[in-house]
Amino acid sequence: MWTRVLALSLIGFTCDAEPAHRIEVVVVNLPQLCPRDLSTSLNAAALLYRGTPVHPQWTTQSTPYSKALPGNVPKRLIILLDQPSQSKFTVREQTLGIALTDRAFIFLPKIQQLAAAKQVPLSAILSVVIAHELGHLLLGPGHSPAGVMRPTCGNSEFDLAQRGQPGFTRHQARQMRARLGLLR
Ligand SMILES: [Zn+2]
């Protein structure tokens, strides 16, 4: 009997689940953040995409992306900045990341400072910032009143990441589906 129940529930799960759409994202780890902290943060960022069609596939590298190979430039690039490269950007003090059309820059030294000041794990904040900036690469500019696409992320969003909760609204999931050409 339990076998049948299990089989039915598996069928139900397959029908209801959002089909995962693998999105390749290259992460450049310029500051040489320790691999464990980076992978914890990337795993938490991927969890924030639950309930959306996006399943980020992270590829990490520690060297800057070579402009000598334009044919190999990835569609989505996330660059963690170290202190010297962060200081070249003129942004507001509270800005933790910025996104252009195909790449985003993450101000890691500021995030490390904020995590220390709030006494939360680095991954709680870094995951939200990475999910937010990747959200811009997928959705374009614009923010929402709830979730990780709020214009200013704070404790409630950091809690989402720590608890492994979804970070995007249904409307944003639909927008991602439309932009990725997944609408039936
Ligand atoms: Zn934003």
Walk along the chain (184 residues) and give the pLDDT tens digit of each residue: 433 333 333 332 333 456 678 999 999 999 999 999 999 999 999 999 999 999 999 999 988 766 555 566 678 999 999 999 999 999 998 999 999 988 999 999 999 999 999 999 999 999 999 999 999 999 999 999 989 999 988 888 888 888 888 999 999 999 999 998 876 6
Q: Does domain 19-179 have CATH number 3.50.50.60?
A: no
CA 143 – ligand 1 centroid, Å: 6
Residue 111 CA to ligand 1 center (angstroms) comes to 15
* Residue among 7, 45, 2, 1 at smallest CA distance from 23: 45
Type of residue at 99: A
Distance 138 CA to ligand 1 centre (A): 12
Crossing angle for the helix pair 35-47 and 155-163, to the nearest 10 degrees: 100
- Cα 146 to ligand 1 centroid, rounded to whole Å: 12
Q: How many CA atoms lie within 13 A of 138 on its CB side?
A: 28
